[in-house]
Amino acid sequence: MTHQCYNGKWESDGSDLQKQMENAQEPGCKVARYECLPSEFYEWIERLGLSQDTQDDMTSPYKYVCLVKRELPPMSWVGRVGEGVIFLDVIARSEGNEYYTSDLTKMAYESFFDLDTLRYVFVNNIVNAYTTTLLYDIYCAKEIDPRSPDEYTWESSSAEFKALIGCGIGKCIASFILAAYGQGIKRIARITTWRTGHELEMLFYIENIV
């Protein structure tokens, strides 16, 4: 079978990130472990200059979290967290920020739930140009209609998975896994992609290494 290469750098970067997630001894990891404790959540909100909003709905198992830094350089994290799952609606970071969206993802989830319980990360309404372009290329290469609402799952052994992990949104989620857990603890096992209307959605499956 001929190997399909979607983007050499993205696939190479994704392969490196995959190895770093799966092997505690893999060299070259550039993602620092983020050690903020849940008890320090509000202290860090203040230090980062973020406005913070959480909404409790007693009828819902999910907590809405909105973290926004409006001063330059801006950054934002908007989503919902429930035990075992993160729904990411908006993540944005401008160059020059001391912290990363992966840090805010850990902070948002761990402030309500034990980090070890996380199993799924949904990313909604993806507009990142690198990710949308890559998915378009993957669908075309697989002879899939890019407008298809069907779900497609990319296993960790595939070239598609590696390219997605090394690009845009996938790189953010892989960086979150490394920042939150360090190397050799948890990994992204597979990725499912689909469209809801015009919106691109992605689901990342998180598994324990041991």
pLDDT digits (tens, 9 = 90+) for 159-178: 999 999 999 999 999 999 99
CA end-to-end span of the chain, whole Å? 32
Question: Tell me: the pLDDT tens digits for 45-60?
Answer: 565 555 555 565 556 7
Number of domains the chain contains: 1
Q: What pLDDT is stored for residue 93 in this prediction?
A: 79
Q: Are strands 85-93 and 120-123 parallel, antiparallel or unpaired?
A: parallel
Residues of the chain with confidence (pLDDT) below 70: 1-7, 36-59, 97-98
Tell me whether residue 2 is in a domain: no
Output the pLDDT for position 71.
74
Q: Is residue 168 part of a domain?
A: yes
Q: How long a stretch of residues is the chain? A: 210
What domain range is 97 assigned to? 8-208
Strands of 85-93's sheet, edge to edge?
A: 51-55, 63-69, 75-82, 85-93, 120-123, 199-208, 186-196, 152-155
pLDDT the model gives residue 1: 44
Query: Does a structural domain hold residue 34?
Result: yes
The one-character DSSP state at 3 is: P
